[in-house]
Amino acid sequence: MDDAERERGPWHRNLIVLWFCTFVAGMAFSEIMPFLSLFVSQLGDFNKQQVTFYSGLAYAADYAIAAISAPLWGIIADKKGRKIMLLRASLGMAIAMGLMGFVTSVWQLVALRALQGVFAGFISNAQALVASQAPRKYSGHALSTLITGAVSGQLFGPVIGGVLAQLFSIRNTFFITAGLLMVAFLLSLVFVQEHFKPVEHHRQPGESRNPLAAFKNPTLIIMMLCSTMIVQMGNASIAPIISLYVKQLMHNVGPITVVAGIIAALPGISNIIAAPRLGKYGDQHGSGRVLLFGYIFAVVMYFPQGLVSSVVILGFLRFAIGISDGALFPEIQTMLTKNTPVHLTSTIFSYNQSFQAIGNMVGAFAGGVIAGIFDYNSVFILTAVVLLINLLLILWLVPGIWKNNRQAVQ
C-alpha cells in the first residue's frame, strides 16, 4: 500500500486493539516466572540443584524453540497474511498454557513450554501488521506505542501472576491465563482488519538467490538484528541477579523482596513513558538519531550501576535504563521497517523475534555465570562494554546511520 491507502486504512483501530492484545501476550509470557521454580518443585521429589536445573530448562525451552520456528512463521506470514498468524499464535499459546495446568511431571511441563515456543510470534506479527499498515511518517510512533503494550504486560505480568497464584493456586493461574489469551484471539478475529495482498516477487534471470540481495543495505539489516540480540542479552543478563544485588546493597536487612520488585519494575515504567515520545521524535528528526542516543544513554547508565553503594541510586539508574530501551527496541524495528521490502516485512520481524529469543537465552545464562565467577556488579559493567562495542560496530559498518530518517525502501 502507498501512504494514501495506509491513511484510509484501519491502521489506527488495529493499533489500539493490538496494543491490548500484545499486553495480554506479554503478560502471559512473564506472569508464570515468579512461581515457575515453585511449580517445578511440586512436580517431583527434587533437591535444590535439580529444581534449579529443571526450572532453567523449562524457562529456556520456550525461547529455544521460538528462535527456530519464528523465521518459518514469518515467511508464511508474508505469503498468507499477518492476521492469520495472530490467530495461530494466540490460539496455540492458549491451548499450550491451558494444558500446563494439567501436567503431572516436569518433562510434560518442559514439552508444553517448547510447544508454546512453536506457537510464539504474536507480538512480532502484530508489529509486522502495524508496520505494513501505518503511514510511513507515523511508523516510528506507531511501533513505539505498540511495543509499550508488550512491555506493560511483561512489567505487570509477574505481579498479576503472583496475585493469581496466591488467590487461585498455580494450576488455576494457567487456566486463567489461557482464558485471557483466548480473549486476545477473539479480539484479533473480530476487530483486526487486514486486506492482505501478497506482494509478488519473481526472481529475475541472473538474480542472486541470496535472501539478503533483496535489501538495499543488507549490512544495516544484519547489524539491526544483531543489535536486537545484544540489547536483549543486556536486559536478560540483569534479570537473574537483580534481586541478589539488591540484597547485597541492603546488607540483607529490610524488605528486600519488595524493594527488588520495585527495582525490577522501574525500567518498564520509564519505557512506557518514553517510547512513544522517542518514536514520534524519530519520525520527525530521524530514527538513527534516536538509536544513537539510546546506545550512548544506555552505556552511560549501565556503567555506574556496577559501582553504586546505594539501592536508591540503583533504582534511579534502572529507571533510566527503561528510557534507553524505549529508544533502542522501537527504533531498531523502525529502521528494519524503513529498510525492508514490503514483501519481506513479516519475515524480517520474525527474524528479529528469533534474535531476541537468542538474546534472552544467552543473556540469562551469561549473567548467572559472570556473577558466579566475579560478582554481581561485573554484570552491569560488562553489559555497558558490550553495548559500547555494539555501537562502535554500527558506526563503523553502517556509516551515516544517524542521518537515516524517513526514507523507506520502495
Per-residue pLDDT of the chain (410 residues; tens, 9 = 90+): 556 677 777 888 999 999 999 999 988 877 776 667 678 888 888 886 777 677 778 877 888 888 888 888 888 887 888 899 999 999 999 999 999 999 999 999 999 999 998 998 888 889 888 888 888 778 878 888 888 888 788 877 777 877 787 788 889 989 999 999 999 999 999 999 987 776 555 555 555 555 666 778 889 999 999 999 999 998 888 876 777 788 888 888 877 767 776 787 788 888 888 888 888 888 888 888 899 999 999 999 999 998 998 999 999 999 999 999 989 988 898 888 888 887 787 788 888 888 988 888 888 778 777 877 888 888 899 999 999 999 999 999 988 777 654 444 33
Q: Is there a contact between 348 and 221 (Cβ–Cβ < 8 Å)?
A: yes
Rounded distance between C-alpha atoms, residue 121 and residue 349, angstroms: 9
Distance, C-alpha 385 to centroid of its chain: 22
Nearest to 383 by CA among 335, 311, 334, 328: 328
Q: Cα(first)–Cα(last) distance of the chain, in Å?
A: 11
Rounded distance between C-alpha atoms, residue 408 and residue 215, angstroms: 11
Per-domain residue ranges for the chain?
1-197, 213-410
Rounded distance between C-alpha atoms, residue 246 and residue 257, angstroms: 9
CATH 1.20.1250.20 fits 1-197, yes or no: yes
Quick check: do 1-197 and 213-410 share a fold? yes
Q: And the C-alpha cell for 43? A: 512436580
Q: And the C-alpha cell for 370? A: 559472570
Rounded distance between C-alpha atoms, residue 116 and residue 63, angstroms: 9
Q: Is there a contact between 379 and 244 (Cβ–Cβ < 8 Å)?
A: no
Q: And the C-alpha cell for 196? A: 492482505
Rounded distance between C-alpha atoms, residue 268 and residue 155, angstroms: 6
Single pTM value for the model: 0.73
CATH code of 213-410, in short, is 1.20.1250.20
Q: And the C-alpha cell for 82? A: 499477518
CA distances from 362 to 63, 234, 304, 332, 383 (A): 10, 10, 23, 20, 13
What does residue 45 show for φ and ψ, rounded to 5 degrees? Answer: -90, 80
